[in-house]
Amino acid sequence: MATAHAPNASEYVSHHLGHLTNVKQASLVDWSVIHLDTMFYSIALGLLAVFVMARAAKRATSGVPGRFQAAVEIMVEMVADQAKGIVHSPESRKFVAPVALTVFIWIFLMNAMDLLPVDMLPTLGALVGINYMRVVPTADLNAALGMSLAVLVMCLYYNIKIKGFGGWMHELFTAPFGNHFLLYPINFAMQMIEFVAKTVSHGMRLFGNMYAGELIFMLIALMGAAWAGTWGGGLLWVGHIFAGTVWAIFHILIITLQAFIFMMLTLVYIGQAHESH
């Protein structure tokens, strides 16, 4: 910490939870604000993901694959199989399957930023005058909701494309309870709730997991920071090593799982858009 006085725990945490923004956000919702750190890391990791995959794709051979190609192929095949099982339109899969692959690898990389020491990049940033930095883009609600919103838009697109605008409208008013004029408002309300719930839970699930994980890493880091030569502080330092190790190992599972879940839900939601009730 490059501050003059040592911060207390709540100052440390709230500082770490502060984003690098263009202007200070005053209200809960302010569309003029943008999180520069989230954008930087998500774009950088996204580009890393697609360029690494593009490299594998460019050198892809139908002969004996190297290890790198085989690794990329394993992921592509995994996603392709999942997409085939969930989205039954081969035409849609041409776009949906690459989307799922992108989402999986991109989110995995963004989640993996959690495994870097919580203070490393922010401290380096502070050296060059960047005083706020959050390095896990998926622990930013905006990023997670932005992606789930993109999935929602794809759902709406495929709903209209597959069923036609009229067919979709018909479904909005007649499903899930049935085709009766008294049921129209209830059906419509249910459908709207369903779309909102899907999208919000989709984004929130990822955000919540990563945010909580990040917070716990901060609390673990606080234990280590409490070491000041005292006996109790020494124990906390050992606690930091122990808890940090355990949580990081556990987090390997979480980041992979959350990326996988986000990908699967993307496929499931788009698959639902293809099915008529």
Footprint of another protein on 163-182 (CB under 8 A)? none
Dist CA 217 CA 235 (whole Å): 17
141 or 183, CB closer to another protein? 141
Q: Find the distance separating the first CA and the last CA of the chain, reported in whole Å.
A: 57
Q: Catalytic: 179?
A: no
Contact 202, 148 (CB under 8 A): yes
Contact 173, 188 (CB under 8 A): yes
In one-letter notation, the amino acid at residue 136 is: V
109 or 222, CB closer to another protein? 109
The length of the chain, given as a count of residues: 277
C-alpha distances in Å from residue 277, one per residue of 55, 168, 265, 272: 42, 10, 19, 9
Please, which residues bridge with residue 35 across strands? 21
Please, which residues bridge with residue 21 across strands? 35
29 or 127, CB closer to another protein? 29
Question: Which one among 4, 5, 10, 28 touches another protein, defined by CB under 8 A?
Answer: 28
CB neighbour list of residue 211: distance below 8 Å, 6 or more residues apart: 139, 141
Footprint of another protein on 47-106 (CB under 8 A)? 47, 49-50, 53-54, 56-58, 60-63, 65, 69, 72-73, 76-77, 80, 94-95, 97-99, 101-103, 106
Q: Catalytic: 22?
A: no
Question: Which one among 145, 220, 223, 259 touches another protein, defined by CB under 8 A?
Answer: 145
Q: Catalytic: 209?
A: yes
Binding site for another protein (CB under 8 A): 21, 25, 27-35, 38-39, 42-43, 46-47, 49-50, 53-54, 56-58, 60-63, 65, 69, 72-73, 76-77, 80, 94-95, 97-99, 101-103, 106, 137, 140-143, 145-147, 149-150, 153
